[in-house]
Amino acid sequence: MAEVKVPELAESITEGTIASWLKQKGDRVEKGENILELETDKVNVEVISEEAGVITELKAEEGDTVEVGQVIAIVEDNGEAGGSSEEKSEDTSKEEEGEANESKESEKSSDKEEKKEEAPKDDSKESGEEESSDDSERIVATPSARRMAREKGIDLSDINASDPRGLVRSQDVDNHGKQPEKSEAPKKEEQPQKQTSGKPEKPVVREKMSRRRQTIAKRLLEVSQSTAMLTTFNEVDMTNLMELRKRKKDEFQERHDGTRLGFMSFFTKASVAALRKYPAVNAEIDGEDLVMKQFYDIGVAVSTDEGLVVPVVRDCDRKTFAEIESDIVDMAKKAQNKKLGLDDMTGGSFTITNGGVFGSLMSTPIINGTQAAILGMHTIQKRPVAIDDEKMENRPMMYIALSYDHRVIDGKEAVGFLKTIKDLIENPEDLLLEG
């Protein structure tokens, strides 16, 4: 017998959620075969069986949260696929017992119904109803009260007697006419309470948030509450970069085995140059220490069906434009296919997010984790630009944004960082000298 346990995932991950069982109870598995998919805060992990055999027990269901080291399944090497004969015999015996019990219960219920039909009708209820109606007609009241009730058209049975013996007096009849005004107020107050306390009349769909979406919500809230986040903006004239890309993209693609020349590699290289010039943007706070990072691992935000993920492109200062473009494409494919590993998403020093692919004109991106800043790219839109005092042209312009932790980065550094990005993108040839 072998126990299948939740494996060690990463230092910061202690639990996960069972997304789906790839094998069920009674299925045969081979050593190293995947038996379930585990959803963690960052990626989905497939858990394998360390031994060959038959799954005889599943100790958790889909959607359950399990901790690292927890036993979630039992695999027996001598088990029979589809369940053991003992289990089958137990199941059949239970079914037979259930059928027998059902037949006994049905017989008992039929006997009870027959007895009820045979039992004589109880006339006491009818007589009781007649007595109660007679009692309602013979209400004890004073002659003056009866006369006043007839004059006002009030039924004596509707009057609440103040006398403990039930004797209706004239003042009771007189007070009865004043009660409706008093009783109307609470009815009006009760009406809105019924509307608010009832179920919503409009159709809604309620579904549980995925573990990844819960983590994204938690992390973003933590960042917004634990940092002094501020955003500064600038705009970039994309004319020169777009012309350069238009001239070189075919040659670039042929030379680098089909890798396309995009804008992300230019912004990544420009970010590395700006980080070198303003090292505080590449830092983070650790307790009372300021950690100045001497490496340039750039996270690139990628949108998936389950939310935003940020895989990291390593050593961007040492890689060519083609290598950066290739890495970004590979990371995006792995993200869409849920194949990202934990190593692909940890250890970044700076992040770039491109809301422009969705048409965003301007936004204030939220800092990623413990990093000090994030660069936001936006859609390219033609706008009239003053070339000189007498000339204006329609130019392809992009707003860029830098959200930064004001505890680490001063406004002067943030503005200078963004200005460096702008200058390098508007003069892309300078990036060749930087890189």
The one catalytic residue in 330, 389, 406, 423 is 406
Among 136, 180, 183, CA closest to 157? 136
Among 270, 233, 274, CA closest to 364? 233
- For residue 427, give the 3-state DSSP assignment: coil
Instruction: List Cβ neighbours of 272 (8 Å cut-off, separation of 6 or more).
Output: 296, 298, 316, 317, 434, 435
Strands 380-386 and 373-377: unpaired
- β partners of residue 423: none
Q: Residue holding tokens 């004890």?
A: 140
Do residues 338 and 44 make contact, with C-beta atoms less than 8 angstroms apart? yes
Do residues 203 and 391 make contact, with C-beta atoms less than 8 angstroms apart? no
Among 110, 168, 342, 375, CA closest to 269? 375
Known catalytic residue: 305? no
- Range list of H helices, 321-400: 321-336
Among 356, 359, 369, CA closest to 405? 369
DSSP label at residue 210: P
Q: Write the DSSP string, 294-310.
A: -S--EEE-EEETTEEE-
Tell me how crowded residue 106 is: count the other CB atoms within 10 A of its CB.
10
Do residues 363 and 348 make contact, with C-beta atoms less than 8 angstroms apart? no
The one catalytic residue in 330, 410, 423, 430 is 410
Q: Residue 417 class from Cβ within 10 Å (0-12 exposed, 13-18 middle, 19+ buried)?
A: buried
Q: Residue holding tokens 């040839």?
A: 429
Known catalytic residue: 406? yes
Residues acting as catalytic residues: 406, 410
